[in-house]
């Protein structure tokens, strides 16, 4: 990772979240913004930032080849989310409880997202990336309210 990369990306995601998140959240407080499915390609996750209420399932789908959505900074085997997807979409459920953000993939135990950061409003921000394509970086903001 180049020096200064993380702060720049954090700034970029905040701009994205303010741009698409706030007005849309006012209109639909309990849904995903803009949606709970993240299509992606080697060029990146689309959109790079998604806002979901706690308890939501997020789906990643591929427009080209195999990708992952993986918590960075920890071994992949310990990552709270390490979704491999390609021809078939991949899924994980995100929930806030016990003072942390947790993720659960189908047929796996729920794992704590140790790299997620708590925001002032009680939301948790999780950065994720693709293990195969270093330019693919995404963000998930999980809001504390329960899913409908
Ligand atoms: Cu990839």
- Per-residue pLDDT for 53 more than 70? yes
pLDDT number for residue 145? 79
Residue 81 vs residue 12, higher pLDDT = 81
pLDDT number for residue 141? 98
C-alpha of residue 145 to centroid of ligand 1, in Å:
31
- Asked if CATH classification 3.40.50.300 holds for the domain at 5-146, the reply, yes or no, is no
111-112: strand order across its sheet: 44-45, 37-41, 56-62, 90-97, 100-104, 111-112
In the chain the first and final C-alpha atoms are separated, in Å, by 38
- Per-residue pLDDT for 143 more than 90? yes
Using a pLDDT cut of 90, give the percent of the chain over it: 74
C-alpha of residue 42 to centroid of ligand 1, in Å:
5
C-alpha of residue 29 to centroid of ligand 1, in Å:
31
- Per-residue pLDDT for 71 more than 90? yes
pTM: 0.81
CA-based angle 65:66:70, to the nearest 5? 135
């Amino acid at each position: 990772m180049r020096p200064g990369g993380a702060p720049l990306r954090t700034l970029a995601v905040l701009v994205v979240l303010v741009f698409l998140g706030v007005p849309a959240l006012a209109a639909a407080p309990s849904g995903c913004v803009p949606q709970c499915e993240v299509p992606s390609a080697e060029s990146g996750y689309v959109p790079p930032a998604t806002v979901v209420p706690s308890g939501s399932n997020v789906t990643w789908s591929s427009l080209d080849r195999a990708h992952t959505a993986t918590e960075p900074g920890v071994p992949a085997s310990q990552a709270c989310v390490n979704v491999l997807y390609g021809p078939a979409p991949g899924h994980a459920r995100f929930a806030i409880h016990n003072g942390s953000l947790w993720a659960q993939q189908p047929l796996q135990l729920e794992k704590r997202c140790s790299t997620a950061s708590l925001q002032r409003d009680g939301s948790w921000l999780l950065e994720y990336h693709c293990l195969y394509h270093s330019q693919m970086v995404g963000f998930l903001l999980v809001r504390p309210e329960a899913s409908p």
